[in-house]
Structure 1
Amino acid sequence: MTILRLFCSLLLFTTLLLGDIEDKNTTSGNILSKTIFSVGGRAHLSTIFTSDQSTYFAGKIALDSKEKGKDIYANARESRLWTKTRTPTEQGILRTTLEIDFLGTKDGKADKNDYYPRLRHAFVELGSFGFGQTNSTFNSVSALDTISYPMDDTFVRQFLLRYTYDKDMFAFDISLEDPKTTLLDSSSSKIITKDELLFDLILRSRYYPVWGEVGIAFLSRKITHNSSIYDTKDSKYGYGINLSGRLKTFAMDDIRFNLHYGEGSGRYVAYGAFSEGVIDSEGKISLTPVYGGHLGYRHWWSHDLRSTIAFSYIGADNNLDVLQTGLDKVTKESYGTQINLLWVPVKNLLTGIEYAWAKREVESRESGSTNFFNLVLRYDF
């Protein structure tokens, strides 16, 4: 409960501080008295039915050879709380964002759902500069309007330092981000997680005319490994390219897409389904090429009723000459489809149902498929 207490304490402190500033400094012209303070959040209830106790993530779909069973579960873990401030200064607008949700634990207790808070955003922006934890600059510029995430989702949330130039429908971002790396040990199939010495460098350009938005991002990173067994050191240059966007079609309809390719960019896609590479028997790194994309079409039946149909795919060229064991755990490819119906009966209240189907194949050539029905009730305040 530490994060929740911190959030509530910060909320109370900021409220009292701003109230005191307003009382004492409004007539004196103190710039802090112009701070705009806002709070909000989301109450979110999900009810999910699965055909085989899988989850809709590329690396966690149960294989057909495994014991399966139907499952249904409901939770409110995706509910959120946030607080924001906006203050004019001589150096530009100072903005802060602090947001939490309740995805910190997998399951609540049988007699009560005491889910723990998880930090989503803790970000500060001053003019064109920003720092803290927030969505990565490598992420897609436009997300699918679906309840479940696409199979290939290019999404990471982490700490970063970012500069943004934004003018006349064109924006450019450059950021230094968390250099965390995941490598697969070929002899044991264990995942090794470590922090690199150099930050990941990401460059992104965005163009957003009246007909939509298009963005392309480039990831550059150095991946290293020190082997205590073989007394060797190795490093590889990793990179990734991500093209994404949203194109308007008829009336309010639009097409949303994402394409990506990378070597050593595994953790930036598909929520950890792939590692950056494999460590061979001599302690050397072999990077894993990862590629994929998604395409979705959103149609508005009316001003308060809409649907999206989407297809997504993610795959990897795992080095089978290096991998020695655990091929039944190493994902080769996954793909899925989604179709939904979302209704907004009153402002800020969303209700919807989505059907999703997905399949996963591992390097041992085993595969598994699954079906999902997801019902959501959500109110933003």
Structure 2
Amino acid sequence: MKISTLTLIASALFSSSGYAAYEFELGDNNTLKFGGYLKADIRHVDGNVPYRPFWIATGTTGEDASQTHFNMRESRFNASYTHGKVMGFVEVDFYGSDGSEAVVNNYDPRLRHAFIKYDNWLVGQTWSTFMPLKAIPETLDFGGPHVGEAFIRQTQIRYTYGGFQFALENPETTGADNKNDSLPDVVGRYIHKADWGELAVAALVRQLDSDGLDKTVAAFNLSGKLLIGEKDDFRFQVNVGKPGRYVAPGLTTDVITHDDQPAAEETTAYTAAYRHFWSESYRSTVFYGHAKTDIQNRERQMWGVNLIKQLTPYLWAGVEVGNYEVSDANADSTYLQFSVKYTL
């Protein structure tokens, strides 16, 4: 068994996917890897936006409530098998259907990633090519400010050439019937990497043909991770256009009804986050996300700040406080979360 300490440290500090870290050389250019992490969350939510294990841009509001829950649902396991130029990867977590918290606290596994890579090609389910992974802030709340992020996993065919990526992705239409989803969504991305970090631009083009709406729509994403000093970084993304389900999950659907007619609305969403290393052991991220639509006038925003202590190269513990606001309904909730994460 070959275990890379550098890989484990990098995974513990910087990875949100928990890619494989335990490596077995099987001979004849074959490699089997296992990895993931265990994460325990203690989360308290107080306010008139109901408790969620992590915030997305839904607009459900209610009476004032105060809830605390303990869970291990973000924990995940993955495996990859490499044979020469071919690699297969699969990962599951436990955000499947809810189980019983009364006795056994069981939760169903959920497929996150399952893809095959060969040379410059990727086929299978993973993060959308429209989604800028390097711009996602390090947060205890899973995913952090979803309200301002492009955030979606789905099956796709992707080709990568240097800093360019081109993909055909699953054309699922939300908010209306999808019986005419015959053309895949098209995504293009360019990533520029340098000593100071990286910048990326992406474009999404979709054909919506549903409930009387037959329209080509587009969305654009600008993102980056800029290195500051020896370790600090600033991460951001800006999303504009008509991305529908691709941006700010729960904010809007691909097709809505406006003046008794089907329509696709514009969304403007963004996030900004600064991560600072106080010392070798302590680091913090302060982050903000915001999203607004132009027809339904839905508006959401979220902020948070955390403090994380790296106990070992494989283990950290942290605390985070933040607020999620449904601005168009004059509702908000504050959350306090404690987490412990052990990277395998």
**Structure 1 pair 62/253, CA: closer, same or farther in 2 (3 Å)?**
same
Counterpart CA distance in 2 for 1:339 and 1:77 is 22
Instruction: Specify the alignment match of 2:325 in structure 1.
Output: 359
Choose which of 123, 131, 137 in structure 2 pairs with 1:144.
137
Whether 1:57 aligns to 2:23 is no
Q: For residue 269 of structure 1, report the CA deviation from its aligned partner.
A: 1.1
Whether 1:294 aligns to 2:271 is yes
- Show the 5 A alignment for 1:1-381: 33-52=28-47, 53-55=50-52, 57-60=55-58, 62-63=60-61, 66-88=62-84, 93-142=85-134, 143-148=136-141, 149-150=144-145, 151-166=147-162, 171-183=163-175, 196-226=181-211, 233-263=212-242, 265-280=243-258, 284-318=261-295, 332-362=298-328, 366-381=329-344
Q: Is the 8 A contact 1:58 1:314 kept in 2?
A: no
Instruction: Specify the alignment match of 2:19 in structure 1.
Output: none
**Structure 1 pair 340/348, CA: closer, same or farther in 2 (3 Å)?**
same
The range that moved more, 269-278 or 305-314, is 269-278
**Structure 1 pair 193/43, CA: closer, same or farther in 2 (3 Å)?**
farther
SS in 2 for 1:270: coil
SS in 2 for 1:274: coil
SS in 2 for 1:310: strand
Q: For residue 262 of structure 1, report the CA deviation from its aligned partner.
A: 1.6
Which residue identity lines up with residue 147 of structure 1 in the other structure?
L
Counterpart CA distance in 2 for 1:342 and 1:112 is 30
Q: Could you tell me the TM-score, scaled by structure 2's length?
A: 0.86
**Structure 1 pair 374/199, CA: closer, same or farther in 2 (3 Å)?**
same
Residue by residue over 1:85-128, the C-alpha shift from the partner in whole angstroms, topping out at 9 and shown as x without a partner, is 1221xxxx211101101100234341101110100010100000
Q: Is the 8 A contact 1:179 1:195 kept in 2?
A: no
Which residue identity lines up with residue 320 of structure 2 in the other structure?
E
Q: For residue 159 of structure 1, report the CA deviation from its aligned partner.
A: 0.2
Q: Could you tell me the TM-score, scaled by structure 1's length?
A: 0.78
Residue by residue over 1:198-252, the C-alpha shift from the partner in whole angstroms, topping out at 9 and shown as x without a partner, is 00000000011010011111000000114xxxxxx43011111011111111221
Counterpart CA distance in 2 for 1:82 and 1:146 is 21
Any unmatched runs of 5+ in structure 2?
Answer: 1-23
Larger radius of gyration: 1
Which residue identity lines up with residue 207 of structure 1 in the other structure?
H
Counterpart CA distance in 1 for 2:288 and 2:313 is 29
Aligned length: 314
Which residue identity lines up with residue 152 of structure 1 in the other structure?
G
CA RMSD, aligned part only?
Answer: 2.0
Q: Is the 8 A contact 1:141 1:214 kept in 2?
A: no
Identical aligned residues as a percent: 27
Which residue identity lines up with residue 138 of structure 2 in the other structure?
D
SS in 1 for 2:270: strand
SS in 1 for 2:174: strand
SS in 2 for 1:222: strand
